């Protein structure tokens, strides 16, 4: 199970939107065994409804230099569900978390995992700017918000409990944990409704009372090395065999 939240800086939004939609220079990835299961956009202003990339180009051009142009959730999807059920799960979660409040774009990628099976996941990219029904052109949309006269300023920034104010580190952690818990509930509900016994658990090993050391995070550049993948997969196999042996011993010995 995995749900991570990322932020995009000015100048990165349009390129990243093309990346998740597998457009322009990234279309070639679909010729290497990866599948683009589904993609969708929503809540864009009228000037970007038919050209979503125009929205992200405007964000790159008009957001303040040290601001963020987008947030992105990257979420692992269960292999046990077929594509149509994964699609329903994603659509339901997007409606729950973003609704009609933020412009968004998402895509479900399904490359081959290290074990040779599917690795479905969704990239959910969205703007922190809130949809308020005011008609603004691209230059005004990303301008600083005017609380006294909203029609004269840009769309207000604010996602979740963040409404333009400062959040402490503890508040940010609590918000991310709450988001991960809501995804855990949505995913496990979908698995149960489909008749599967598998469940995800987004708690850490320590939170679950396990003594297993966390696996070291691999950078993409490291994971692309064949020797790194072989070593990590061998480690995972050995750990699984050790856990199985311990369970069998516990059943045999009083």
Q: What is the pLDDT of residues 84-128, one digit of tens each?
A: 999 999 999 999 999 999 999 999 999 988 778 899 999 999 999
Has 26 been annotated as catalytic? no
Give the model's pLDDT for residue 232: 84
Give the model's pLDDT for residue 36: 95
Confidence of residue 39 (pLDDT cuts 50, 70, 90): very high
**Quick one: which of 131, 135, 73 has its CA closest to 101?**
131
Q: What is the pLDDT of residues 48-74, one digit of tens each?
A: 998 999 999 999 999 999 889 999 999
Give the model's pLDDT for residue 193: 97
Contacts of residue 120, defined as CB under 8 A and 6 or more positions apart, other chains included, come to: 37, 76, 77, 78, 79, 83, 86, 108, 109, 110
Give the model's pLDDT for residue 31: 80
Q: Is pLDDT of 24 > 90?
A: no
Give the model's pLDDT for residue 227: 87
Give the model's pLDDT for residue 211: 76
Rounded to the nearest 10 degrees, what angle do helices 83-97 and 169-193 cross at? 140
Q: Do the beta carbons of residue 143 and residue 153 sit within 8 Å?
A: yes
Q: Do the beta carbons of residue 36 and residue 107 sit within 8 Å?
A: yes
pTM of the model: 0.88
Q: Is pLDDT of 131 > 70?
A: yes
**Quick one: which of 2, 10, 14, 26 has its CA closest to 55?**
14
Classified as helix, coil or strand, 4 is strand
Contacts of residue 153, defined as CB under 8 A and 6 or more positions apart, other chains included, come to: 140, 143, 144, 145, 146, 147
Give the model's pLDDT for residue 86: 97
Q: What is the pLDDT of residues 180-207, one digit of tens each?
A: 999 999 999 999 999 999 999 998 878 8
Contacts of residue 211, defined as CB under 8 A and 6 or more positions apart, other chains included, come to: 205
How many Cβ atoms are within 10 Å of 83's Cβ, its own excluded? 15
Q: Is pLDDT of 165 > 70?
A: no
Q: Does 214 or 121 have the greater pLDDT score?
A: 121
**Quick one: which of 84, 96, 146 has its CA closest to 120?**
84
Catalytic residue among 19, 62, 104, 159: 19
Q: Which residue has the tokens 């995009």?
A: 8
Q: Do the beta carbons of residue 205 and residue 5 sit within 8 Å?
A: no
How many Cβ atoms are within 10 Å of 146's Cβ, its own excluded? 12
Separation between Cα atoms, residue 210 and residue 157, nearest integer Å: 40
């Amino acid at each position: 199970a995995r749900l991570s939240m990322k932020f995009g800086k000015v100048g990165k939004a349009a390129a990243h939107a093309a990346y998740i939609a597998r457009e322009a220079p990234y279309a070639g990835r679909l010729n290497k065994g990866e599948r683009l299961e589904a993609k969708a956009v929503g809540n864009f202003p009228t000037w970007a409804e038919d050209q979503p990339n125009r929205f992200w180009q405007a964000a790159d051009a008009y957001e303040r230099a040290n601001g963020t142009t987008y947030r992105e959730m990257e979420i692992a999807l269960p292999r046990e569900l077929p594509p149509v059920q994964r699609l329903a799960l994603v659509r339901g979660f997007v409606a729950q978390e973003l609704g009609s409040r933020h412009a968004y774009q998402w895509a479900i990628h399904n490359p081959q995992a290290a074990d040779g099976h599917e690795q479905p996941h969704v990239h959910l990219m969205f703007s922190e700017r809130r949809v308020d029904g005011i008609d603004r052109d691209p230059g005004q949309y990303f301008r600083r918000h005017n609380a006294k006269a909203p029609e004269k300023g840009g769309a207000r920034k604010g996602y979740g409990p963040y409404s333009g104010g400062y959040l402490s580190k503890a508040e940010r952690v609590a918000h991310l944990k709450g988001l991960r818990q809501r995804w855990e509930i949505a995913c496990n509900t979908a698995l149960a409704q489909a008749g599967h016994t598998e469940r995800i658990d987004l708690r850490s090993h320590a939170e679950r009372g396990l003594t297993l050391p966390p696996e070291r995070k691999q950078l993409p550049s490291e994971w692309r090395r064949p020797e790194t993948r072989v070593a990590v997969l061998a480690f995972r196999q050995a750990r699984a065999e050790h856990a199985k042996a311990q369970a069998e011993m516990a059943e045999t010995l009083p």
